[in-house]
Structure formats: C-alpha cells, structure tokens
C-alpha cells in the first residue's frame, strides 16, 4: 500500500477501533503523523523557549499558550493514532493495554513541560518540576519500546 493510500485509509477509519490492520497499512501512516505531531509540539513551545532566551515580550504568560497548545497537539496526535494502533495491536494478538502507558505519560509530559520551562523563566535555573518532567519523558520513552515491538510484529493479516 502506498503512503497516500495508507493515510487516506487511516483517516477514513479514525473512529473504527474494530478489525485488524497489517504493517503495510499501519507503518506508512504512523511516520507522517509522528513527524507532524513532533513539529506541532516544537512549535508550541516556541513562546516559552523565547522567554527562556530573553527574547519574549511577555515571558510570564507564554507558558499558558504553550501548555494549551502542547496539550492540544498531544490530543490531536492521540486522536489520529488511537484507532490505528488499536487495530494494529489486535492484528498482532495484543491488548490495547500496551498503548495506554505511553499515551498517559505523554499527556503528563505535555502538561508539565510548559510549567517547568516557566519556572526556569523566573528562577533562571532548572527547577524540581523540570527534573520531574525530564523523568516523565524518560519513562515515556522506555514505555514506547514494548509498544513499538508489538506494533512491528507480524500479525494475522500478514500471514500468507
């Protein structure tokens, strides 16, 4: 399946959590979504980053915009991937439970990021909240490993 057909198929099936999808349907959709979410996430922290660097007109309020936009980007990413990941996990014979920890940790990290960076604006040095956010991000990355392993397994729809 081509990338564009995979994207079209998965966008048309955003609300369909039943059934199974093979790697040929899932992987060409996954990568563009991850890239777009990553770009959106980076753009959403620009106001806080400018404040940390001292280049912002409103450094104190920039964390509000960043918190809202980070959370929105994460929710859009989850919305775009939830059904596809569910169908792919089902195809490999795994439970949706494998996807819950990364999604929850990503939401927590998104909420903490702007607050942690806002603390750096006022204190000028990393705070305990920054270290908490960093730790949550590390745990999130570790939780992605088993999910990625299961999503990349051969499933029933790939079998001959």
Q: Assess whether 124 and 49 both reside in one domain.
A: no
Supply the mean pLDDT for the chain. 81
Q: pLDDT class for 101, splitting at 50, 70, 90? A: very high
For helices 3-12 and 23-44, the axis angle rounded to 10 degrees is 80
Domain stops at, among 47, 71, 93: 93
Q: Assess whether 104 and 84 both reside in one domain.
A: no
Q: Assess whether 3 and 72 both reside in one domain.
A: yes
Residue 22: what pLDDT?
84
In the chain, the number of structural domains is 2
Residue 39: what pLDDT?
92
Checking if the pLDDT of 139 tops 90, the result is: yes
Residue 160: what pLDDT?
37
Report the alpha-carbon distance of residue 121 to residue 137 in Å, rounded: 20
Residue 60: what pLDDT?
59
Residue 56: what pLDDT?
59
Q: Assess whether 88 and 102 both reside in one domain.
A: no
What are the structure tokens assigned to 43, written together? 């753009």
**12-to-5, 8, 86, 118 alpha-carbon distances in Å:** 10, 6, 15, 39
Q: Assess whether 57 and 112 both reside in one domain.
A: no
Better pLDDT: 94 or 66: 94
Better pLDDT: 61 or 31: 31
Q: Assess whether 87 and 134 both reside in one domain.
A: no
Residue 159: what pLDDT?
45
Q: pLDDT class for 124, splitting at 50, 70, 90? A: low
What pTM value is reported for the model?
Answer: 0.75
Q: Assess whether 37 and 57 both reside in one domain.
A: yes
Q: What is the pLDDT of residues 15-48, one digit of tens each?
A: 888 888 888 888 889 999 999 998 998 888 777 7
Domain stops at, among 93, 128, 151: 93
Domain stops at, among 61, 93, 125: 93
Helix, strand or coil for residue 17? coil
Report the alpha-carbon distance of residue 54 to residue 114 in Å, rounded: 16
Q: Assess whether 109 and 77 both reside in one domain.
A: no
Residue 42: what pLDDT?
86
Cα atoms in the Cβ-side hemisphere of radius 13 Å centred on 106: 21
Q: Assess whether 78 and 138 both reside in one domain.
A: no
Q: Assess whether 102 and 124 both reside in one domain.
A: yes
Percent of the chain past pLDDT 70, that is, above it, reads 82
Over range 121-131, report the average pLDDT.
Answer: 70
Q: Domain residues for 111?
A: 95-159
**113-to-81, 91, 109, 140, 145 alpha-carbon distances in Å:** 22, 34, 6, 13, 22
């Amino acid at each position: 399946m081509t990338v564009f057909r995979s994207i079209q198929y998965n966008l048309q099936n955003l609300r369909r959590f039943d059934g199974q999808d093979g790697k040929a349907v899932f992987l060409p959709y996954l990568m563009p979504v991850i890239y777009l979410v990553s770009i959106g996430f980076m753009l959403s922290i620009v106001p806080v980053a400018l404040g940390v660097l001292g280049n912002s007109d409103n450094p104190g309020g920039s964390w509000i915009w960043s918190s809202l936009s980070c959370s929105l980007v994460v929710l859009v990413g989850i919305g775009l991937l939830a059904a596809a990941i569910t169908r792919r996990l089902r195809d490999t014979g795994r439970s949706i439970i494998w996807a819950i920890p990364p999604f929850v940790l990503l939401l927590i990290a998104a909420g903490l990021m702007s607050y942690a960076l806002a603390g750096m604006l006022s204190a000028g040095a990393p705070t305990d909240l920054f270290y908490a956010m960093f730790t949550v991000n590390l745990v999130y990355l570790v939780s992605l490993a088993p999910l990625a392993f299961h999503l990349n397994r051969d499933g029933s729809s790939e079998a001959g």
